[in-house]
Amino acid sequence: MKETQMFREQFETALTEMLAHAADRGAKSVSVNSGNLHRSVGGYPGRNHRMPICCEVMYARKGDGDRVISAPPKGKGASLTIEYVVESGR
């Protein structure tokens, strides 16, 4: 497995777990910050961080009803925050 794909899958898994945890709590939505998501997976902050991949995963997961709360000027950075609507089975 390519290293990039491995990191992508780690971020996807962590994001899915965050959304599932919010659903378990009965939340209607949850705001996810890329810096916090990356820290939960590991490697951030650090020289070899994978923030662009983390942000790509977050943008890819964004669907109808979800909204970008804040984003860095270039779109990929630790300040990216997306509010995801929590749905069962998502």
Residue 76 main-chain phi, psi, to 5 deg: -130, 110
Number of domains in the chain: 1
Residues facing 10 on adjacent strands = none
Q: Cis peptide before 45, with omega less than 30 degrees from 0? A: yes
3-class SS of residue 32:
strand
List, for residues 47-65, the tens digit of each pLDDT value. Answer: 989 999 999 999 999 999 9
pTM for the full model? 0.92
pLDDT at position 1:
66
List, for residues 5-38, the tens digit of each pLDDT value. Answer: 999 999 999 999 999 999 999 999 999 999 999 9
Query: Is 2's pLDDT higher than 90?
Result: no
pLDDT at position 90:
45
- Write the CATH number for 44: 1.10.10
59 lies in some domain: yes
Using CA atoms, how far apart are residues 26 and 45, in angstroms rounded to an integer? 31
pLDDT at position 56:
98
90 lies in some domain: no
Of 67 and 47, which is predicted with more confidence? 67
Plot region of 57 (φ>0 → left; ψ -120 to 50 → alpha; else → beta): alpha
